[in-house]
């Protein structure tokens, strides 16, 4: 069993997303927390969730740990429970934005954070070792996890959207655990979308915001947002039903919060740097765990991915509900409508292509590449060139972006030609 960028996931009922794999996860989570560890376990609404949860909890108990069954809750409720001391370790059973037939596991440790590379390697070692039974374990319901999350969310939001009518798309997923509390969180009139009327993520949620957009437009609402299946990411829509790019969302939050620095991934548009003068913009590899580490090490108050994962320094992990409400409040604080608030964001033209290569020498060792990158970027007038190998294909991916489309296309062509020769 190997962890990817965000835990492990795959088809439910097939190793390792089956009861045997779930038992391994439960035992490993107990070892991660230490003797008698309190392990909070929650899930989203997938049909495979109850069986996997029962297997995780049973393995925690058999390993001498205290399994806290929190039921259906968003992923951020699990990380918050660990951060604030209700548990030592957290296990979230979810496949995030994947369709209902999939499922998976996310682990959280000290501070409510995701595992480091070293911790992941250690857990993967435990997953292949025999299960070691121990006495003193238990399984108990944990309604306090939901109560703590709701209370903390209300305190963290501190927004007033009174007089506004908004839509919230819950993706038929974990956010439905808070369905009855949405209006009290923000003061707005809330129209619920995808709140138990179909399979998780099926034509709804953060990855499929079309239904949300149509609801906002037809009901003439002031805007809205969608979360994904486990509610840790957010997609915003304007009052016109237009989907807001993730980078525009990050920009608006950065402006409204007057941050002096933020973390984004290598895939965010280079326009962010030009539109946030005086703000330190730190770029990381793809994955919110990399953003979280950059924020912690460099004292940055905000981080975000263009996919809608946003991190705040006063919250332990990505939270779609927190992001959505804060984003709408940020919009209305400085503009009459969401579309007006987002109008300042203008993405740079971008060319994203790939090139089949015969070998993959480390890019840092490709003779002349550093010099060429500097030359290309100097011709882009504030743009950038980002090159990386695919992890699954024999290709190199080339991203070129800048304020002038003609220059972007010219450099994209030149970089492909140069790399084709250098990596032949």
Q: Please check whether residues 299 and 381 belong to one and the same domain.
A: no
- Where does a domain end: 342, 360, 379? 342
Catalytic: 96? yes
Mean pLDDT of 239-267: 96
Q: Please check whether residues 49 and 113 belong to one and the same domain.
A: yes
pLDDT digits (tens, 9 = 90+) for 349-384: 999 999 998 889 999 999 999 999 999 999 999 899
The answer to whether the beta carbons of residues 243 and 345 sit under 8 Å apart is no
Q: Please check whether residues 360 and 403 belong to one and the same domain.
A: yes
For residue 75, count other CB atoms closer than 10 A to its CB: 30
CATH number for 364: 3.30.310.50
pLDDT digits (tens, 9 = 90+) for 276-323: 999 999 999 988 889 999 999 999 999 999 999 999 999 999 999 999
> Residue 280 sits in which domain range?
158-342
Q: Is the pLDDT of residue 5 over 90?
A: no
Whether residue 377 lies inside any domain: the answer is: yes
Set 48, 63, 79, 96: catalytic member = 96
- Where does a domain end: 144, 166, 192? 144
Q: Please check whether residues 192 and 294 belong to one and the same domain.
A: yes
Q: Please check whether residues 302 and 405 belong to one and the same domain.
A: no
Q: Is the pLDDT of residue 4 over 80?
A: no
Q: Please check whether residues 317 and 362 belong to one and the same domain.
A: no
Whether residue 2 lies inside any domain: the answer is: no
Mean pLDDT of 87-101: 97
Q: What is the pLDDT of residue 17?
A: 97
Q: Please check whether residues 206 and 318 belong to one and the same domain.
A: yes
Q: What is the pLDDT of residue 28?
A: 96
The one-character DSSP state at 176 is G
Whether residue 78 lies inside any domain: the answer is: yes
Q: Which helix (H) or strand (E) holds 81?
A: helix 75-83
pLDDT digits (tens, 9 = 90+) for 236-251: 999 999 999 999 999 9
Q: What is the pLDDT of residue 377?
A: 94
Whether residue 110 lies inside any domain: the answer is: yes
Whether residue 149 lies inside any domain: the answer is: no
- Where does a domain end: 79, 109, 144? 144
Q: What is the pLDDT of residue 392?
A: 73
Whether residue 150 lies inside any domain: the answer is: no
Q: How far apart are CA 41 and CA 3, in angstroms?
A: 18
Mean pLDDT of 198-212: 97
pLDDT digits (tens, 9 = 90+) for 325-351: 999 999 999 899 999 999 989 999 999
pLDDT digits (tens, 9 = 90+) for 25-65: 999 999 999 989 999 999 999 999 999 999 999 999 999 99
Which residues, in sequence order, are CB contacts of 218 under 8 Å at separation 6+?
A: none
Q: How far apart are CA 180 and CA 196, in angstroms?
A: 13
Mean pLDDT of 262-274: 94
Q: How far apart are CA 319 and CA 152, in angstroms?
A: 12
Q: What is the pLDDT of residue 7?
A: 87
CATH number for 301: 3.40.120.10
For residue 320, count other CB atoms closer than 10 A to its CB: 32
Mean pLDDT of 115-141: 93
Whether residue 390 lies inside any domain: the answer is: yes
Q: What is the domain count for the chain?
A: 3
Q: How far apart are CA 124 and CA 126, in angstroms?
A: 5
Query: Structure tokens of 138?
Result: 């238990």
Q: Please check whether residues 213 and 356 belong to one and the same domain.
A: no
Q: Please check whether residues 187 and 295 belong to one and the same domain.
A: yes
Peptide bond into 191 cis (omega under 30): no
pLDDT digits (tens, 9 = 90+) for 143-191: 999 999 999 999 999 899 999 999 999 999 999 999 999 999 999 999 9
Whether residue 416 lies inside any domain: the answer is: yes
Q: Is the pLDDT of residue 101 over 90?
A: yes
Q: Please check whether residues 101 and 140 belong to one and the same domain.
A: yes
Query: Structure tokens of 178?
Result: 């808070």
Q: What is the pLDDT of residue 225?
A: 98
Q: What is the pLDDT of residue 6?
A: 75
Q: Please check whether residues 119 and 184 belong to one and the same domain.
A: no
Q: Please check whether residues 366 and 317 belong to one and the same domain.
A: no
The pairing of strands 261-265 and 280-284 is parallel
């Amino acid at each position: 069993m190997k962890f990817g960028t965000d835990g492990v996931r795959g088809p439910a009922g097939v190793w390792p997303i089956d009861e045997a794999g779930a038992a391994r996860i439960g035992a490993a989570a107990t070892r991660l927390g230490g003797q008698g560890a309190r392990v909070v376990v929650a899930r989203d609404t997938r049909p495979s969730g109850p069986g996997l949860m029962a297997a995780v909890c049973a393995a925690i108990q058999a390993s001498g740990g205290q399994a806290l069954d929190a039921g259906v809750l968003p992923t951020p409720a699990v990380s918050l429970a660990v951060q604030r001391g209700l548990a030592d370790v957290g296990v979230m059973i979810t496949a995030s934005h994947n369709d209902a037939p999939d499922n998976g596991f996310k682990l959280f440790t000290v501070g409510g954070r995701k595992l480091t590379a070293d911790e992941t390697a250690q857990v993967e070692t435990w997953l292949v070792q025999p299960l070691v039974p121990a006495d003193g374990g238990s399984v108990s319901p944990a309604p306090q996890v939901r109560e703590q999350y709701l209370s903390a969310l209300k305190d963290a939001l501190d927004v007033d959207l009174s007089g506004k009518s908004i839509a919230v798309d819950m993706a038929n997923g974990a956010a439905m655990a808070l369905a009855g509390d949405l209006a009290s969180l923000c003061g707005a009139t809330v129209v619920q979308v995808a709140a138990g009327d179909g399979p998780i993520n099926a034509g709804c949620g953060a990855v499929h915001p079309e239904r949300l957009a149509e609801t906002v437009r037809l009901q003439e609402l002031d805007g809205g947002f969608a979360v994904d299946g486990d509610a840790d990411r957010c997609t915003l829509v304007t009052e016109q039903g237009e989907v807001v790019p993730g980078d525009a969302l990050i920009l608006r939050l950065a402006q409204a919060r007057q941050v002096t620095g933020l973390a984004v991934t290598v895939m965010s548009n280079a326009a962010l740097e030009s539109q946030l003068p005086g703000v330190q913009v730190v770029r990381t590899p793809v994955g919110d765990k990399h953003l979280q580490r950059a924020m912690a090490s460099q004292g940055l108050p905000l981080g975000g991915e263009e996919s809608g994962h946003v991190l705040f320094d006063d919250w332990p992990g990505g939270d779609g509900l927190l992001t959505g409400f804060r984003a709408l409040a940020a919009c209305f604080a400085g503009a009459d409508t969401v579309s007006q608030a987002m109008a300042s964001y203008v993405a740079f033209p971008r060319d994203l292509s790939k090139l089949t290569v015969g070998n993959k020498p480390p890019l840092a060792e490709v003779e002349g590449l550093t010099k060429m990158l500097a030359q290309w970027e100097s011709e882009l007038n504030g743009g950038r060139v980002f090159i990386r190998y695919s992890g699954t294909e024999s290709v190199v991916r080339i991203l070129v972006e800048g304020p002038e489309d003609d220059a972007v296309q010219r450099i994209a062509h030149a970089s492909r030609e140069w790399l084709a020769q250098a990596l032949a």
